Amino acid sequence: MTAVQKARLEMRRNEWTGPTKHQLPGAVKCNLVILPKADAYDFLVYCVHNPKPCPVIEVTEPGDPEPKRSAPGADLRTDLPRYAVYRNGERQEDRLEIRELWTDDSVAFLIGSGMSFDDALERAGVPKTGTWVLNTTLETVPAGKFRGPMVVTMRLMTPSQAIIATQLTSRFVYTHGAPVHIGDPAAIGADLADPIVGSPLEAIPKGLTPVFWGCGVTPQSAALASAPELMITHAPAHSFVTDLVDDQFCIP
């Protein structure tokens, strides 16, 4: 049994309920979206229209919770540390498993997460630091009922590190790829004072440059804007961990 498979069993038994960020290095991590079949096509088109924040790695068959391509034997109803549940656009109480919410009509999407390239960045000389998740005024391309602004992750780097990060993450097209913006947060409406994840910032520290990537929390923003009857996602920073290896799941 691999370390990743062991970790998923711990999540299934509710022994691991914390974030997966900076855990299980080398494994491709995914954001999760589960929708009724009636909404699945529109959401797939939404992802195709918005590949930076929503790069699709796998879509399950209706009613089948096993991601056969990226994690054979796993169960998407139980094998994440924490789930967020939305009803009609309103976030409900988080859950540690969602068996009772899963139906024969449920379709799961696994969307690449930028957590996957943190280890590659560190090996290239860009150390792991704090990551902020921020709302922006960048509108995504709508599809059906799904629409809304892009959510981004922000990392602070020196200018030379920002160049390395841009070059390196351009290879990781299935986990958000290259940055969507570098520099002034106000240019994309990123609100540093009210982050989704991370401590509020009054200003960017001197000598550092903010670098922004599309974020897999964007579908949660779309849930709030489009209000499907039921939408289940990962809780922020509590990604699904696949058997895929990040250095093999990118452009060589």
Q: pLDDT (tens digit, 9 = 90+) per residue, 94-112?
A: 999 999 999 999 999 999 9
Q: Do 107 and 127 fall into the same domain?
A: no
Q: Do 8 and 100 fall into the same domain?
A: yes
Instruction: Name the 3-class secondary structure at 40.
Output: helix
Q: Mean pLDDT throughout 28-45?
A: 94
> Where is pLDDT greater, at 69 or 117?
69
- CB-based contact 98:77 (threshold 8 Å): yes
Q: Which element (helix H / strand E) includes 17? A: none
Q: What integer pLDDT is reported at residue 114 of this predicted model?
A: 81
Is the pLDDT at 41 greater than 80? The verdict is yes
CATH of the domain at 104: 3.40.1640.10
Q: What integer pLDDT is reported at residue 252 of this predicted model?
A: 67
pLDDT tier, 118 (very low <50, low <70, confident <90, very high otherwise): confident
Tell me the H-state helices in the chain: 3-12, 37-49, 118-123, 159-169, 218-226
pLDDT tier, 138 (very low <50, low <70, confident <90, very high otherwise): very high
Q: Do 230 and 107 fall into the same domain?
A: yes
Q: What integer pLDDT is reported at residue 222 of this predicted model?
A: 85
Q: Do 15 and 106 fall into the same domain?
A: yes
Q: Mean pLDDT throughout 213-240?
A: 88
Q: Do 79 and 154 fall into the same domain?
A: no
CATH of the domain at 156: 3.30.2040.10
Any long-range contacts for 10-14 (C-beta under 8 Å, 24+ apart)? Answer: 11/78, 11/79, 11/80, 11/81, 12/75, 12/78, 12/79, 12/97, 14/96, 14/97
Q: Which residues pair with 146 in a beta bridge?
A: 143
Q: What is the mean pLDDT of the chain?
A: 92
Predicted confidence (pLDDT) per residue in 73-87, tens digit: 999 999 999 999 999
Q: Do 10 and 100 fall into the same domain?
A: yes
Threshold 0.85, pTM exceeds: yes
Q: What integer pLDDT is reported at residue 163 of this predicted model?
A: 96
The whole domain housing 7 covers 3-114+219-248
Q: Which residue has the tokens 């059906």?
A: 144
Q: Which residue has the tokens 């797939």?
A: 44
Pull the structure tokens for residue 105.
């009509």
Q: Do 67 and 99 fall into the same domain?
A: yes
Q: Do 121 and 60 fall into the same domain?
A: no
Q: Do 134 and 57 fall into the same domain?
A: no
- CB-based contact 20:119 (threshold 8 Å): no
Longest dimension (CA), the chain: 53
Q: Do 36 and 12 fall into the same domain?
A: yes
Q: Do 51 and 84 fall into the same domain?
A: yes
Q: Domain tally for the chain?
A: 2
